[in-house]
Structure 1
Amino acid sequence: MFRKDYLLRMMEEMTEAIGKVFTLKQQRKHTEALSELDELLRRQFGLNLSLLNSLPAEDVIEMFRFRGVIEVDNLQQAARLIEEEAYIYNEKAKVEGIDDQEKIESENEALIRLMRSLHFYLYALNNGANPKLLDAPDRVEGILKQTKQYELPARTEKQLALYREQQGRYDQAENSWYRLLQVDDSHPIQYRGEVQAFYERLRQLEDEQLQQGGLPREEVEEGLAELNR
């Protein structure tokens, strides 16, 4: 009960802060909007946006470990703040009168933050986060739509593969795994064992499940044979 009340209070505070950020964005007060997000992050987690965006993603995730367990619901809240930060930079890029260089820099900052936010959402969902807390599945699909023209970082592509498998979208999971195999043609063995494990898990499923997931059994066997070749 205490844990639930704690999360609800944090969610209420986040909702209020994001409402303020939305108003500040409309007023084109981008610096103030970023400060509002940063202050919320400090109050809730004792962190700041600069730290979340500069450290390796794996190190940030470890910062949410408590008593040996990653607090994934807290992690997805941090992901939401980083996502909102990305939208502030997108708004900055649309301001009339800024030069091309500043526009490009703002767009790049937005993309970097969207990618990082996506990684944290996926990691949280893959490790038991409450999907209804922040409508994280919808947020994931929204970010994927916005970034579809870009190649995902390998670590994020792996989380996406695991997430699609969890969803039962086996054909899309396979696509992610094969993109990983092609990240570095000289070192495909880095992911080969995980792709093989993926196919072996699918072999344990019923034919109907595989059909519904877009990857019939014959395609599973073909994929495994091709991998072994």
Structure 2
Amino acid sequence: MFRKDYLLRMMEEMTEAIGKVFTLKQQRKHTEALSELDELMRRQFGLNLSLLNSLPAEDVIEMFRFRGMIEVDNLQQAARLIEEEAYIYQEKAKVEGIDDQERMDAEDEAVIRLMRSLHFYLYALNHGANPKLLDAPERVEGVLGLTKEYELPARTERQLALYREQQGRYDQAENSWYRLLQLGAEFPVSYRDDVQAFYERLSPLTDEQLEQGGLPRNEVEEGLAELSRQEMNS
């Protein structure tokens, strides 16, 4: 009960703060809007947005570890604040009278924050966060729509693959895994074992389940066979 009340209080405070931010954005008071979000982050988590956007994502996630567990519901709330910060930069980029460099800088800052919030949403959902707390699945789809022209960081693509599998959207999960395999030559981390594990998790499913997920059994078997051929040729 205490935990539930604690989360509800945090949600109420966040909702109130985002309402203030919305008003400040309408008034084009972008600096004040950013300060409002930063202050909320400090009050709720003892962190600031600059730190959350500058450290490696894995280090930020570790900051939400308490008694050996990542507090994923807190993490998705932090993701929501970072997402809102991105929208402030988007609005800033639309202001008339700023020069092209300022506009491009604001657009870049928005994309960086959208990517960061997406990673944290996905990680939280993949590790048991309450999907109803912030309507996180809908927020994920919204951020994906806004960033569809950009290549996701490898660590985020991996979380997306796991998330699509969790949703039962196996064809989309496979697409993410193969994007990672294509990146393999550029990164020291090999995703081949992850892809094989993905197919092996699907193998025991029924034909109907696989069909519903957009990945028929013959494609699962072909995927495993292709990985075997690649291993033999390597």
**Both proteins in one fold, TM over 0.5:** yes
* Residue aligning to 1:19: 19
Post-superposition offset of 1:166: 0.1
After alignment, is 176-185 or 111-120 more displaced? 176-185
TM-score scaled by structure 1?
0.98
Q: CA-to-partner distance for each residue in 1:124-180, whole Å, 9 max, x for gaps? A: 000000000000000000000010010000000000000000000000000000000
User: Aligned equivalents of 1:186 and 1:130: distance in 2?
Assistant: 35
Q: Deviations over 1:37-79 (max 9, x none)?
A: 0000000000000000010000000000000000000000000
Instruction: Say whether 1:206 aligns with 2:198.
Output: no
Counterpart for residue 66 of structure 1? 66
Structure 1: runs of 5 or more not aligned? none
Q: CA RMSD in A?
A: 1.0
> Does the Cα contact within 8 Å between 1:182 and 1:188 map onto a contact in 2?
no
Percent identical among aligned pairs is: 86
Mapped partners of 1:13, 1:115: distance in 2: 24
Partner residue, 2:4: 4
Report 1:169-180 matches (<5 A).
169-180=169-180
Unmatched 5+ stretches in structure 2: 230-234
- Using a 3 Å threshold, how does the CA distance of structure 1 residues 192 and 2 change in structure 2: closer, same or farther? same
Shift of residue 188 of structure 1? 8.4
- Over 2 Å off, 4+ runs: 184-189
Asked whether the 8 Å contact 1:89–1:107 carries over to 2, the reply is yes
CA contact (8 A) 1:119 1:159 kept: yes
- The Cα shift of 1:185 comes to 2.8
Q: 1:41 matched to which residue of 2?
A: 41
Distance 1:216 1:154 in 2: 26
TM-score, normalised to structure 2, is 0.96
Alignment of 1:13-162 (within 5 A): 13-162=13-162
Change (3 A) 1:25 1:212: same
Secondary structure at the aligned position of 2:215 is classed as coil
Match of 1:220 in 2: 220
